[in-house]
Structure 1
Amino acid sequence: MRRILVIGSPGAGKTTLARRIAERLSLPLVHLDREYWRAGWVKPADDEWEIQAAALAEKPSWVMDGEYLDLSGKLLARATTVIWLDLPNWLCLSRALKRLALHYRKERTDLAEGCPEYFNRDYVTFIKDIWTYPARIRPKMIELLRNLRPDQNCVILRSRREVEDFAARLPSTLQGAA
């Protein structure tokens, strides 16, 4: 596990798990939310994100959390392990709302500067996205994971217990890490 991509619905716990993995394996941590967004929640141009994602993917080792997969698929292609947090939408939604309440109008370290937590019309869309994730995004994720190469590991975690058990089994260091 040298390049680990943690994916899943907003609120699934990607950032928390990625932090734990990076710490335990002594790997660099990359929050894709922080890399993707520009101040004021502005999306980058597709070509700009492609260049940035390609540069991130080329690093020799990393733990990344998020689902801002680049159009060319370089992030997924470079991952040696993909961990999909396939948790229930009700759990993801409750976590996202709790996070909003805890960090309202504050910037988090896993988000770009100038992107505080907020509640507005966009957040209502975000809530709908979480609720409809199983129907809209889950089938796409299943297809992406089916197409991983044989040399790529895939871990699917479907409950809080599975996530905790996985994290507890992580080695304390990555042997032979560069």
Structure 2
Amino acid sequence: MKVNVVGTSGSGKSTMARQLAQKLAVPYIEMDKLYWQPGWQGTHGDEFLLKVTQALADAAEGWVLDGNYNRTKAIKWREVDWVIWLDYGFFRTLWQVTRRTLLRAWQETELWPDTGNRESIYRAFFNRRESIIWWMLTSYRRNRRKYLAEMQDACNGHIRFIRLRSPAETALFLASLP
């Protein structure tokens, strides 16, 4: 089984993807871990695409991948079986991303091993350019339009789209899997 969990930042993609990978007994691949380097430097261009391609090839029998990263769609959706879209309400997603960011900043949690990248109150609330909360606020509607269109696109006919609208639906979905 090959699955891509998508949704707006703060929707719970990583948490759900880890749970799903454990349930399906396949590797969990975190796209942010592939992208972010030390000092909040992103991996750009072909190097990022190569990292994604290699991670998927290493887990050829099956995987659960979390993340949107539109430029990787041709790679990750080529063989994907399911795209699970966490489409929670705006205020629910805003609450989740704010709570998560504050908790990480308070605990000084390193987000990806050996990067030194940590959330901060300044970054979250006073630096629009680098704020995950601001990113959620500005990308929420755009992501909804994008995934609604992807579900209707005939080019994606090989993909089973699963749209989960609440944490309760997500829990029921996970519980329904063998």
CA contact (8 A) 1:37 1:112 kept: no
RMSD (Å), alpha carbons: 2.1
Query: In structure 1, what residue type is equivalent to 2:19?
Result: R
Runs of at least 5 residues in structure 1 that lack an aligned partner in the other structure: 172-178
Distance 1:69 1:33 in 2: 13
CA shift, 1:113, in A, is 2.7
Matched, 1:133 2:139: yes
What TM-score does the superposition give when structure 1 sets the normalisation length?
0.84
AA at the equivalent of 1:83:
I
Identity, % of aligned pairs? 28
Deviation of residue 21 (structure 1)?
0.6
Count of aligned pairs: 169
Is 1:96 aligned to 2:94, yes or no?
Answer: no
2:119 equivalent in structure 1: 117
Alpha-carbon distance change, 124 to 34 in structure 1, aligned in 2, over 3 angstroms: closer
Equivalent-residue separation in structure 1 for 2:10 and 2:161 (angstroms): 20
Q: State the TM-score, normalizing by the size of structure 2.
A: 0.84
Q: Which runs of 5+ in 2 are unaligned?
A: none
Contact 1:39 1:113 in 2 (8 A): yes
- Map 1:19-168; keep pairs closer than 5 Å: 19-58=18-57, 59-60=59-60, 61-71=62-72, 73-104=74-105, 105-108=108-111, 113-119=115-121, 120=123, 121-122=127-128, 125-147=131-153, 149-168=156-175
Q: Which amino acid aligns with 2:90?
A: N
**Structure holding more helix per residue:** 2
1:136-165 CA-to-partner distances (Å, cap 9, x unmatched) read: 222122222323533321100011221111
With a CA cutoff of 8 Å and minimum separation of 6, indicate the structure with the bigger relative contact order.
1
**Aligned AA for 2:44?**
A
